[in-house]
């Protein structure tokens, strides 16, 4: 069993493909975490805010194995719950990441700016609203007010943090944009929807990555996302 706590969509499919052995694919469980940390220098991680970690599997069953893993993580100091609706957790976290990460990265500001700056607040709400619409189209119902409240809460509680996407751009490292905003655009297209704000963020971050030599080509926006996103309708045989 492999448990992924990575941001965005498509992680389970990517792991199953990468870790296939003798024709056998591993069981991959999904998880999200709101634990906050910063990396002030290579090899150093500073925990800046306590959060909660949720783990789950494709089926709605919470097995004893899943509960045991949650209990072990909690005992180690990382509060963890085993949940039936992991896809809602994944999409809610995706909405928060899509709203905060590219804006802070492109504006060069800490997370607190999302809560304090009126223009960034409007932009974050627009980005999150597109994610909510796409999630609902994909069969995952998430509440708009709950998501917007989560964006505000994360911006406040991790206010002094520099998002991972900002750190990646500043260090010339390729970002998670394709698994976050790019994945929203790709999933929207699957349902004949558009997510123009998320597409704009993706294109702008791609441009910054190309400028740093971390992304080849300059022929426009093509979301570099897995063919199989981690959504309920597409998880059969992807997440066990």
Which residues are catalytically annotated?
A: 93
- The answer to whether 107 touches 120, Cβ cutoff 8 Å, is yes
- The answer to whether 56 touches 31, Cβ cutoff 8 Å, is yes
- The answer to whether 105 touches 99, Cβ cutoff 8 Å, is no
Nearest to 231 by CA among 131, 135, 147, 96: 135
DSSP state of 172: T
63 SS3 class: coil
* Inter-axis angle of helices 144-157 and 118-137, nearest 10: 140
**Tokens found for residue 180:** 């976050």
Indicate the helix (H) or strand (E) that contains 7. Answer: none
Distance CA 221, CA 181 (A): 12
User: Strands (DSSP E) along 52-183, which ranges?
Assistant: 53-56, 80-82
- The answer to whether 175 touches 207, Cβ cutoff 8 Å, is no
């Amino acid at each position: 069993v492999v448990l992924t706590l990575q941001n965005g969509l498509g992680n389970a499919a990517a792991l199953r493909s990468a870790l296939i052995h003798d024709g056998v694919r591993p069981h991959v469980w999904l998880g999200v975490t709101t634990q906050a940390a910063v990396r002030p220098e290579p090899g150093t991680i500073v925990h800046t805010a306590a959060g909660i970690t949720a783990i789950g599997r494709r089926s709605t069953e919470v097995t004893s194995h899943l509960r045991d893993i949650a209990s072990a993580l909690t005992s180690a100091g990382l509060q963890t719950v085993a949940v039936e609706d992991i896809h809602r957790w994944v999409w809610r976290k995706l909405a928060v990441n899509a709203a905060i990460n590219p804006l802070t990265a492109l504006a060069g500001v800490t997370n607190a700016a999302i809560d304090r700056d009126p223009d960034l607040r409007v932009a974050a709400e627009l980005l999150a609203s597109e994610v909510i619409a796409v999630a609902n189209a994909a069969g995952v119902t998430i509440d708009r007010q709950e998501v917007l409240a989560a964006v505000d809460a994360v911006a406040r509680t991790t206010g002094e943090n520099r998002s991972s996407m900002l750190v990646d751009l500043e260090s010339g490292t390729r970002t998670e944009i394709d698994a976050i905003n790019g994945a929203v655009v790709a999933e929207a297209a699957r349902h004949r929807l558009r997510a123009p704000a998320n597409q704009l963020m993706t294109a702008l971050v791609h441009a910054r990555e190309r400028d740093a030599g971390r992304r080849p080509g300059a022929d426009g926006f093509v979301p570099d996302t897995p063919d199989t996103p981690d959504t309920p309708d597409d998880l059969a045989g992807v997440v066990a």
